[in-house]
A and B are shown apart, each in its own frame.
Chain A
Amino acid sequence: MVKPAPYDLPFDTDSSARFIPWIIALTTFIGSIFMLGMLTFSSLIGKWSMDLTGQATLQMHIEPGLSPEQAHAMKAQVLTYLKRTPGIKAVQPLDTMTTYRLLEPWLGKNIEHLNLPIPFLVALTLQEKEHFDVTFTSNELAKISPGIRITEHEHINQSILRAANGLRMVGHFILTLITLACIGALIFSTYTGLIVHHDIIRILMLVGARPGYVANQFQRHTFKLALKGTLYNYVLLGLVAALMFWFVGKLEFTLPIHDLSISTLGLVLMVVPLVIITVMTITARMTVSYVLAHQS
């Protein structure tokens, strides 16, 4: 027997659905990139946050007028005080070279020759259980050298997390908008399809088709379009990945995406299209069922 027509409705003839695979492809693509970005971002933040917790830095400005001996004595005094302070587990003064290295990204490689007053830095590891009173310690140390500042990294941590959450919310909002736009486009095209195929749908209903039967046809057709969109999405992702690796090769830096495991990456690349395909087929089905149930 000759194969039956795949649908009772001639979907091939209707151009309103022509752009749907591309709209779905873009939504899936943006969704995948967004999810990968978010996961990378979260893992980065998590790492920083781990590095920063329980840390503080002391910064001491050395007056240019002081002799090296005087400066040395002053540093020793500060270190001794710190070692006796409750709540501090370890005190690690940074030598000049380390300080230079830390400042390099801002001031460049030739800091030594700039003749800048380089501050004396001490890395403090705080105790988890015992409370460390920053204000009190700062005030006490100011008696030794007035320009002393202690920064608890927990504060930086908090602001980074706050900023990260803000970013994440903006991201989710934009992603929601894009998904809604995609759903809107599909509802519009499905609705147009119902109008274009009105005569055939009328005949189907006359021979006893339930709205669900017609909805099924639209759902299957939409599934096919979404599958096509998913393929386009993978092509886009492949292109972007190739471009990125090419750039990375040129610029010699590592992508933070390496922090994601292969399984996470695979999961995201599978789950996002699956979610989109599901949402799209359900949208098509609900649109048809709703319209057919509400017309006499």
Chain B
Amino acid sequence: MSAAHKPIYIARFQNVGLRYETGPEVLSNINLHLEKGSFHFLTGSSGAGKSSFLKLLYLGLLPTRGIVHLFGRDPMSITPQERPYFRQKIGVVFQDFNLIEHLTALDNVALPLKVSGTSPIKARKHAAEILDWVGLAEFIYALPATLSGGQRQRVCIARAVITQPDLLLADEPTGNVDDQLAMKLLYLFEELNKMGTTVVLATHNRYVSAEFDHPILHLEKGRIILPGNEKAKVIQNG
């Protein structure tokens, strides 16, 4: 076997626990490896810890217990100066969108390219294409406040994918759109995954996770419950 078959891990969790302030642990004993190029669904009921889990993956939070490795590095050791370069490799569809209200849809989507040094003109041109693809061609100059929930969500998706990130984290990315559009967006993620992006998609829509043949990470009371799927690459010993 050549070295090419040795899996490369985007993220590794060892006995990871997370608590907010002095509250109870919302994530406990998480042990898993996310292989480069994999696609995982993250399921679990409301409050199970899906968003919290994703925060650990985009350096939104540091674990309060255990060790996380992200792109081979312990986030604890990533300096504030290095953090932007890690984040530039990660695209996030936030559950609450996190759009900048005074910027148009176009400028919101262009941001990740702009902050990583692409010229504003190029960034906006590319942003317009992606917005067109997610069906918002007419709304590129609209402010987020004037858009519907589903439209805002699509702006957020466009912003997350514009850089073709190494890791795409999507938190309920289809929660506000009809089934047809949901399918279209899921195929966008599928497409990106085929081009090499590692995807973690949080959803409590069983229909969504059932449609694709991808391993499921199921969270229950802060623990990953047996994935029941060989491809999951989940080491379960909690």
Contacts and interface: CB of A to CB of B under 8 A. Distances in A.
B115 A204 contact: yes
A5 B124 contact: no
A4 B124 contact: yes
Contacts of A200: 100
Contact of B159 (A205, A207, A210): A207
Interface string A1-44: 11011001010010000000000000000000000000000000
Contacts of A66: none
Contacts of B90: 208
B104 A2 contact: yes
A209 B115 CA distance: 5
A206 interface: yes
B102 A205 contact: no
B98 interface: yes
Contacts of A295: 80
Contacts of B115: 204, 207-210, 213
B111 interface: yes
Contacts of A8: 100, 103, 107, 111, 114
A54 interface: no
B83 to A, nearest CB: 8
Nearest to B85: A208
Interface residues of A, number: 22
Nearest to A10: B102
A292 interface: yes
Contacts of B163: 208
Given A1-B124, A2-B141, A213-B115, A206 B103 contact: no
B199 interface: no
A206 B90 CA distance: 9
Given A207-B92, A210-B84, A211-B81, 17 more contacts: A2-B104, A4-B124, A5-B104, A203-B98, A205-B83, A206-B58, A206-B60, A206-B98, A207-B112, A207-B159, A208-B84, A208-B85, A209-B115, A211-B84, A213-B115, A292-B80, A293-B81
B126 interface: no
Contacts of A204: 100, 111, 115
Interface of B: 58, 60, 80-81, 83-85, 87-88, 90, 92, 94, 98-100, 102-104, 106-107, 110-112, 114-116, 120, 124, 128, 141, 159, 163
B81 A207 contact: no
Interface of A: 1-2, 4-5, 8, 10, 13, 200, 203-211, 213, 292-293, 295-296
A150 B77 CA distance: 81
B111 A207 contact: yes
A205 B103 contact: no
A94 to B, nearest CB: 77
A8 B88 CA distance: 17
Given A1-B124, A2-B141, A200-B100, A209 B80 contact: no
A206 B84 CA distance: 8
B98 A211 contact: no
9 contacts: A8-B114, A205-B84, A206-B58, A208-B84, A209-B111, A209-B115, A210-B84, A210-B115, A211-B84
A208 B141 contact: no
A1 B140 CA distance: 10
Contact of A5 (B80, B98, B107, B159): B107
Given A204-B111, A208-B116, A213-B115, A5 B103 contact: yes
A204 B106 CA distance: 15
Contacts of A5: 102-104, 107
A4 B148 CA distance: 22
Contacts of B159: 207
Nearest to B102: A10
Choose among B85, B116, B128, B141 the residue with the greatest number of A CB atoms under 10 Å from its CB. B116
Contacts of A205: 83-84, 87
Contacts of A206: 58, 60, 87, 92, 94, 98
Contacts of B98: 203, 206
Given A1-B124, A4-B124, A213-B115, A208 B88 contact: yes
B87 A207 contact: yes
A10 B144 CA distance: 15
Contacts of A292: 80
Contacts of A4: 106-107, 110, 120, 124
Q: Which 9 pairs of residues, A with B, have the shortest CB-CB distance?
A: A208-B88, A209-B115, A208-B87, A210-B84, A10-B102, A207-B112, A203-B98, A208-B84, A213-B115
